[in-house]
Amino acid sequence: MKEKVVLAYSGGLDTTAIIPWLKEHFDYDVICCCINCGQGEELDGLEERALLSGASKLYIEDVVDEFCDDFIMPCVQAGSVYENKYLLGTSMARPVIAKKLVEVARKENAVAICHGATGKGNDQIRFELGIKALAPDIKIIAPWRMTDIWTMQSREDEIEYCQKHGINLPFSADSSYSRDRNLWHISHEGLELEDPANEPNYDHLLVLGVSPEKAPDEGEYVTMTFEKGIPTSVNGKKMKVSEIITELNELGGKHGIGIVDIVENRVVGMKSRGVYETPGGTILMEAHNQLEELVLDRATMETKKDMANKFAQIVYEGKWFTPLREAVQAFVESTQAYVTGEVKFKLYKGNIIKAGTTSPYSLYSESLASFTTGELYDHHDADGFITLFGLPLKVRAMKLAELEQNK
């Protein structure tokens, strides 16, 4: 009986070519596993394609709700954004994919897991750190790094290889954007984006929405509610998190929200340029931030910003299954106890404009914040506060003046 390998399968040309390659070079029984994180129509016809390509079986694992509840929401609650722009769409999906690959490998008694990530990207790190953390005994095969036996260097090479092995599927050799899609976002790399000097061809590129210029000329109001940092409704309609993200994607896409053009620093040391569409995610993150402004105290907010950056780095670098991620997430979750309330905003040509925030746990006091004198605040108290708060500055200035006089 042949040993089994589980292949992370998307149905694209790369992973299709890997099926006969694994059989030819390792004599494995290939079990394909596609993880549904909300990539939509990309899943159509996958089983037939996998079997025609030589796989003995295909698993399609639906993890949309798990992805949203257990991987997206911790990042939203943390407020994690990588390098001030990237909302971690691909990064968040990789650990749940690795987890499911390991589960299928255990079920099938497979000896290896194979992925089609290149040797230049971040995904090889994310997949492999996840697999190592969850199944250190399982072998990992990364064809693109095995240049002695993986000799294909182009789409044309892969199509020719497939045809030689009796796989005649309707793949095209035409160049196109390299994309990764899930419920949270879609990323675009390649073509004119290879040169940061080029403006993106948004008419050709965008999938989830329109550019702000082509958005409606009239804004649209949206109301959201949260309970303990988790979104619970949109415009009065109660929904689970995956349904809320789907709804916000439609609203955000319509109004040109969440289009980001970034040159980011990859884990492997190089810079890469890409365009991300995250319409619903951008709205959700902003709404959550608006509510936190109202209910979190200053010291917690300051520390949480540091933790947000740390959490973003952890997720981006593929270190989800680590004690550090668990510890930072525990801190974040402790800050969410009172992040409950309602947020209203207007979507207009790429902008999310505040229109009112309320919470039963609001720390905002109108009597304190207004210019009228209330019972809790005596203006004279500021005298002593400023004297003590500014004492180090005053002492330093006096010492410098004394030194200057003694010269």
Q: What is the CATH number of the domain that holds 38?
A: 3.40.50.620
Tell me how far apart the alpha carbons of residues 94 and 398 are, in angstroms, rounded to a whole number. Answer: 57
Residues 307-332: b if buried by 16+ CB within 10 A, e if exposed: bbbbbbbbbbbbbbbeeebeebbeeb
Average pLDDT of 204-226?
Answer: 98
Q: How confident is the model at residue 366 (pLDDT cuts 50, 70, 90)?
A: confident
Tell me how far apart the alpha carbons of residues 187 and 281 are, in angstroms, rounded to a whole number. Answer: 13
Find the radius of gyration of the CA atoms of the chain.
26
Task: Quickly tell me which residue has 């999938």 as its tokens.
Answer: 207
Q: Out of 10, 14, 80, 359, pick the active-site residue.
A: 14
Could you tell me if 11 and 129 lie in one domain? Answer: yes
Q: Is residue 307 part of a domain?
A: no
- Burial (CB count within 10 angstroms: exposed 0-12, middle 13-18, buried 19+), residue 218: exposed
Pairing of strands 341-348, 351-358: antiparallel
Question: How many domains is the chain built from?
Answer: 3
Q: What's residue 291's pLDDT?
A: 98
Could you tell me if 352 and 204 lie in one domain? Answer: yes
Residue 360 pLDDT greater than 80, yes or no: yes
Range of 48's domain? 4-71+88-164
Beta bridge partners of 186: 181, 277
- How many CA atoms lie less than 13 Å away from 273 in the CB half-sphere? 12
Tokens of 352: 């999310």
Q: Out of 49, 80, 123, 273, pick the active-site residue.
A: 123
CA 64 → CA 37, 92, 117, 163, distances in Å?
A: 5, 12, 22, 34
Q: What's residue 374's pLDDT?
A: 64
Could you tell me if 278 and 376 lie in one domain? Answer: no
Average pLDDT of 123-128?
Answer: 98
Tell me how far apart the alpha carbons of residues 115 and 142 are, in angstroms, rounded to a whole number. Answer: 6
Could you tell me if 349 and 378 lie in one domain? Answer: no
Could you tell me if 261 and 388 lie in one domain? Answer: no
Could you tell me if 154 and 208 lie in one domain? Answer: no
In this predicted model, what pLDDT tens digit does every residue of 374-393 receive, in sequence order? Answer: 677 888 889 999 999 999 99
Among residues 267, 355, 340, 334, which one has the least CA distance to residue 86?
A: 267
Positive or negative, the CA dihedral 250, 252, 255, 256 is negative
Q: What's residue 372's pLDDT?
A: 64
In this predicted model, what pLDDT tens digit does every residue of 279-297 receive, in sequence order? Answer: 999 999 999 999 999 999 9
Could you tell me if 44 and 192 lie in one domain? Answer: no
In this predicted model, what pLDDT tens digit does every residue of 167-183 receive, in sequence order? Answer: 998 888 776 899 999 99
Among residues 146, 125, 50, 149, which one has the least CA distance to residue 314?
A: 125
94 is annotated as an active-site residue: yes
Q: Is residue 92 part of a domain?
A: yes
178 is annotated as an active-site residue: yes
- pTM score, whole prediction: 0.94
Q: Out of 10, 49, 94, 126, pick the active-site residue.
A: 94
Q: Out of 56, 178, 211, 272, pick the active-site residue.
A: 178
CA 139 → CA 69, 75, 254, 397, distances in Å?
A: 30, 30, 45, 65
Q: How confident is the model at residue 373 (pLDDT cuts 50, 70, 90)?
A: low
Residues 219-241: b if buried by 16+ CB within 10 A, e if exposed: beebbbbbeebbbbbbeeeeeeb
**Neighbour order of strands in the sheet with 220-227:** 237-238, 230-234, 220-227, 341-348, 351-358
Could you tell me if 143 and 260 lie in one domain? Answer: no
Tokens of 286: 């902003």
**Cβ distance 283 to 257 under 8 Å?**
yes
155 is annotated as an active-site residue: no
